[in-house]
Amino acid sequence: METRKVQVTGGSSYIITLPKEWVLSAKIQKNDPVGVLPQPDGSLLITPNTTTEKDSHTKEFSVDKITDGQYLFRLLIGAYISGYADIILRSKNGIPAYLRDNVITFTQTLIGPEIVEEDSNTIHIKDLLKPTELPFDKTLKRMFLLVRGMHESTMIALAGKDRDMATEVIKRDRDVDRLQWLVARQTHMVLEDISLARKMEIRQSDVTLYLTMSRILERVGDHAIIIATQIPVLIESGLTPKTADTIANASRQAISMLAKSMDAWQKRDILMANDNIDSLGTLIKSCKKINDMAATMEGEPAVAMSYISESIRRTGEYSTDISELLINMLIGD
| DSSP bridge pairs for 62 | 90
pLDDT at 10 over 70: yes
Give the integer Cα–Cα distance in Å for 170 and 144: 16
Class of residue 31 by CB neighbours under 10 A (exposed 0-12, middle 13-18, buried 19+): exposed
Q: Looking at per-residue confidence, does 64 or 37 come out higher? A: 64
Is 54 within 8 Å of 27 (Cβ atoms)? no
Residue 52 has a pLDDT of: 44
Residue 43 has a pLDDT of: 75
Is 140 within 8 Å of 209 (Cβ atoms)? no
Q: How distant, in Å, are the alpha carbons of 98, 238, 244 from that of 250?
A: 45, 20, 10
pLDDT in tens, 165-220: 999 999 999 999 999 999 999 999 888 877 787 788 888 778 999 999 999 999 99
Q: Looking at per-residue confidence, does 213 or 46 come out higher? A: 213
- Evaluated on CA atoms 219, 222, 224, 230, the torsion sign reads negative
Assign 59 to helix, strand or coil.
strand
Q: Which of 248, 220, 252 is nearest to 321 (CA)?
A: 220
pLDDT at 110 over 50: yes
**Extended beta strands in the chain, E state:** 7-9, 13-15, 35-38, 44-47, 58-62, 86-90, 113-118, 122-127
pLDDT in tens, 222-268: 999 999 999 999 999 888 899 999 999 999 999 999 999 999 999 99
Position 134, amino acid: L
Give the integer Cα–Cα distance in Å for 200 and 47: 18
Give the integer Cα–Cα distance in Å for 12 and 203: 31
Class of residue 5 by CB neighbours under 10 A (exposed 0-12, middle 13-18, buried 19+): exposed
Give the integer Cα–Cα distance in Å for 290 and 212: 30
The count of other CB atoms within 10 Å of the CB of residue 3 is 5
pLDDT in tens, 278-331: 999 999 999 999 999 999 998 999 999 999 999 999 999 999 999 999 999 888
Task: Look at the pTM and tell me if it is higher than 0.85.
Answer: no
Class of residue 143 by CB neighbours under 10 A (exposed 0-12, middle 13-18, buried 19+): buried
Residue 289 has a pLDDT of: 96
Give the integer Cα–Cα distance in Å for 1 and 159: 63
Taking each helix axis from N to C end, the angle separating 136-160 and 163-171, rounded to the nearest 10 degrees, works out to 160
- Delineate the domains of the chain, giving CATH numbers in brackets: 7-47 (2.10.260), 58-129 (3.30.110.20), 132-332 (1.20.58.220)
